[in-house]
């Protein structure tokens, strides 16, 4: 039976993507793991792998097509030994329902087993019915959705949309199933096997409380109202791309739902700059290149990570039911790219050396500008740093990026007059502003976090031990 390849959900929040490029053509043979296409999301360009073996019978969505909805059919795959022309006709373009589903890099599987036979009608007690087989993708009611990416023990459980739909339809806990797809992804055959072995039903979710409806948010002026202020022909319209739409949506959500609170301190940089110079001069050289070259921002990342380790009550995220206390400092770093910005994440930064952070940021920054980051490299995190000092900005306040509770805005280091021991002196001073989610980081806690950060920057040897 033909396998329908659908637009994959490459992140939990992805709703649509652009089919940037096909790397196969109709008639090409593919095996599991072959890269067949490139998909552009709002943040990155990602490769999509085949799961099943077969022949590309039909390409339904041309490369360059924008705003292709998740789970929309994009191609038809003929299984090994199947007539390619017949498979192309039987696919979605032919009007018949697909027999199975291969969602991007992880969701193509064999057809579902047939339903168990009915008990005999001779009056004798029928033998116990064997576990029922999962329904194929085409048999599941449209009302049954794949739902969000499941989570177990704080980690995402990767499963194809079809596998999630079948699990939801059959009422089983997909997080208890072991995946046999690429990189351990749960696919349709895994759910079928779990049903055959008598998988336990998913735990009932507690009924949602009937809260009072939230007040409607203010709505800005319409496009027509904005354009009415300007003379015809005095402007041009540049269509928003996916990245700009996502930035607008998330920042508006942040300012409307997060009560921001701001704390600013001045930090002396002279000791940090001196240590940075010493460390860079001491870097081993290989092939005429130093093994690392530390920046001030690398040391800021490390100082913030250590400060969060020392003040764990500030390393949190807010939920309506509980405070999420993170075990590690995963620091997102705002990187400006054409059309917007992205925040690649340095995971467990408090445990990494300065040279490791520096080299990792160079790699992440370069791939961010090429839109080659993987979703796990820019999603999540526990805090963020936005540094505009290199642009000459003295100070500013950044917008908290949920689910973070904090973000540190870093200004330029500049020579300023300071008073030391009653005498006027000159020091290199940098202003930093901590924006916090006041629901979980109060003013005093924010001040404690900044004091710890200031201590590491002004006494940077503490970052080496």
Residues known to be catalytic: 438
Q: For the CA atoms of the chain, what is the radius of gyration? A: 27
- 69 forms bridges with which residues in the sheet? 16
Q: How are strands ordered across the β-sheet holding 331-333?
A: 260-268, 423-437, 406-420, 383-387, 331-333, 345-346
CB 191 within 8 A of CB 111: no
CA dist., res. 156 & res. 48, Å (int): 19
Q: Cα 202–208–211 angle (5° rounding)? A: 170
Q: Please count the other Cβ atoms lying within 10 Å of the Cβ belonging to residue 128.
A: 7
Which of 92, 76, 185, 201 lies closest to 138 in space, CA to CA?
Answer: 92
Peptide bond into 139 cis (omega under 30): no
CA dist., res. 250 & res. 254, Å (int): 6
């Amino acid at each position: 039976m033909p396998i329908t390849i659908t637009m994959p959900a490459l992140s939990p929040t992805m709703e649509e993507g652009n089919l940037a490029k096909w790397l196969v053509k109709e008639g090409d043979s593919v095996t599991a793991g072959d890269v067949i296409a490139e998909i552009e999301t709002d943040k990155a360009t990602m490769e999509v792998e085949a799961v099943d073996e077969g022949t590309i019978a039909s390409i339904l969505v041309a490369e360059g097509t924008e705003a292709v909805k998740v789970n929309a059919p994009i191609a038809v795959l003929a299984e090994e030994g199947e007539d390619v022309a017949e498979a192309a006709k039987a696919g979605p373009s032919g009007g018949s329902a697909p027999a199975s589903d291969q969602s991007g890099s992880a969701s193509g599987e064999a057809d579902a087993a047939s339903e168990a036979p009915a008990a005999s009608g001779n009056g004798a007690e029928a033998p116990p019915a064997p576990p029922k087989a999962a329904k194929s993708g085409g048999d599941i009611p449209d009302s049954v959705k794949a739902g969000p990416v499941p989570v177990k023990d704080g980690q995402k459980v990767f499963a194809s949309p079809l596998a999630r739909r079948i699990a939801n339809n059959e009422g089983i806990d997909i997080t208890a199933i072991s995946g046999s797809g690429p990189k351990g992804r749960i696919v349709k055959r895994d759910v079928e096997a779990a049903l055959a072995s008598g998988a336990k039903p998913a735990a009932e979710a507690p009924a949602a409380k009937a809260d009072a409806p939230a007040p409607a948010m203010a709505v800005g002026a319409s496009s027509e109202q904005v354009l009415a202020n300007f003379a015809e022909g005095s402007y041009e319209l540049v269509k928003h791309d996916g990245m700009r739409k996502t930035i607008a949506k998330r920042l508006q959500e942040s300012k409307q739902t997060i009560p921001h609170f701001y704390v600013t301190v001045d930090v002396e940089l002279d000791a940090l700059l001196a240590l940075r110079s010493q460390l860079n001069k001491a870097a081993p050289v290989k092939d005429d290149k130093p093994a690392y070259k530390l920046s001030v921002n690398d040391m800021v990342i490390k100082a913030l990570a250590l400060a969060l380790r020392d003040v764990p009550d500030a390393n949190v995220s807010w939920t309506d039911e509980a405070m999420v206390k993170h075990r590690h400092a995963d620091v997102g770093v705002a990187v400006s790219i054409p059309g917007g910005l992205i925040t690649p994440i340095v995971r467990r930064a408090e445990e990494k050396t300065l040279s490791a952070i520096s080299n990792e940021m160079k790699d992440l920054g370069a791939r961010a500008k090429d839109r080659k980051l993987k979703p796990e490299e820019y999603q999540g995190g526990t805090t963020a740093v936005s540094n505009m000092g290199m642009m000459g900005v003295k100070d500013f306040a950044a917008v908290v990026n949920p689910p973070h509770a904090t973000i540190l805005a870093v200004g330029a280091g500049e020579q300023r007059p300071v008073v030391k021991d009653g005498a006027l002196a000159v020091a290199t001073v940098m202003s930093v502003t901590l924006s916090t989610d006041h629901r979980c980081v109060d003013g005093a806690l924010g001040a404690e976090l900044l004091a710890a950060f200031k201590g590491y920057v002004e006494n940077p040897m503490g970052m080496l031990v």
